């Protein structure tokens, strides 16, 4: 969806001034996201007046502050990844240790509890990261398609919407959906457990029918995935760097 505007607004809550990165896009609903690093983003419909959006953010400021406190107290951010041997990385919710070695051919292989990464210049983290990111994406596509098919088997009424699947790098969101019926999943989701990936897919499939997060949406989600709250709680506990 084309982005039409971007600005930073400040919401005051007590003695705190919370900066919110606000983007206006071609979309139907306003969404607010609080990220593990404490940053806040909001996506608003392009035709929504900025004053109305700011009023909504002010009404939600106590929730925003609560989410930020949750990350500060219960989920301290892990150290930045250095992409060196001995470091651990997630794949399908499990931790694997890196083994980085020099090789003329870039290659990544999962062997036991190790991710073996071969690159020409192992002393350059950017090259190790690029090889690992490529491996994640290669692994993600067949898994995402398989899990999407499973979700559609559980919710045959959603299959009639004929959803398409797209995969892209998204640091702020696990997934999204478009009015055209395309489900987009982040490559980062492959680092979470399979039941969390299924939750993200089912959540977005439900949005193809109901675009907001009103009661009707959660009734539909609960119908097609009764344990979605447990899955969401597990996903919320995942903190990536």
Distance between CA 178 and CA 104 in Å, rounded? 41
Distance between CA 119 and CA 128 in Å, rounded? 7
Share of the chain above pLDDT 90, in %: 56
Angle at alpha carbon of residue 98, lines to 96 and 103, rounded to 5° = 140
Name which residue leads in pLDDT, 120 or 30. Answer: 120
* Alpha-carbon 128 to chain mean position: 22
The full set of domain ranges for the chain reads: 3-74, 88-236
- What is the per-residue pLDDT across 133-158, written as a single tens digit (0 to 9) for each? 999 999 999 999 999 999 999 999 88
Mean per-residue pLDDT, 173-197: 93
What pLDDT score does 74 carry?
A: 58
Smallest CA-to-CA distance from 186 within 195, 201, 173, 199 is with 173
- Per CATH, is 88-236 categorized as 3.40.50.720? no
pLDDT tier, 92 (very low <50, low <70, confident <90, very high otherwise): very high
pTM exceeds 0.75, yes or no: no
What pLDDT score does 102 carry?
A: 96
Answer yes or no: is pLDDT of 123 > 80: yes
């Amino acid at each position: 969806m084309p982005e039409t505007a971007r600005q930073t607004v400040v919401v005051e809550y007590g003695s705190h001034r919370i900066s919110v990165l606000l983007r206006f896009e071609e979309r139907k609903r306003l969404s607010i996201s609080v990220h593990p690093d404490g940053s806040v983003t909001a996506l608003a419909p392009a035709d929504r007046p900025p004053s109305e959006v700011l009023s909504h953010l002010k009404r939600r400021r106590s929730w925003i502050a609560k989410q930020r406190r949750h990350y500060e107290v219960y989920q301290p951010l892990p150290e930045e990844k250095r992409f060196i041997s001995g470091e651990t990385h997630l794949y399908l919710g499990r931790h694997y240790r890196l083994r980085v070695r020099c090789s003329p051919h870039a290659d990544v292989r999962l062997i036991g509890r190790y991710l073996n990464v071969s690159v020409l210049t192992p002393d350059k983290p950017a090259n190790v990261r690029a090889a690992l990111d490529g491996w994640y994406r290669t692994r993600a596509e067949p898994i995402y398609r398989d899990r999407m098919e499973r979700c559609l088997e559980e919710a045959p009424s959603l299959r009639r919407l004929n959803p398409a699947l797209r995969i892209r790098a998204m640091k702020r969101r696990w997934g999204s959906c478009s009015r055209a019926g395309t489900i987009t999943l982040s490559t980062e989701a492959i680092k979470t457990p399979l039941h969390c990936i299924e939750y993200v897919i089912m959540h977005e499939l439900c949005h193809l029918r109901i675009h907001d997060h009103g009661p009707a949406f959660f009734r539909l989600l609960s119908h097609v995935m009764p344990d979605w709250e447990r899955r969401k709680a597990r996903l919320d506990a995942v903190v990536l760097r």
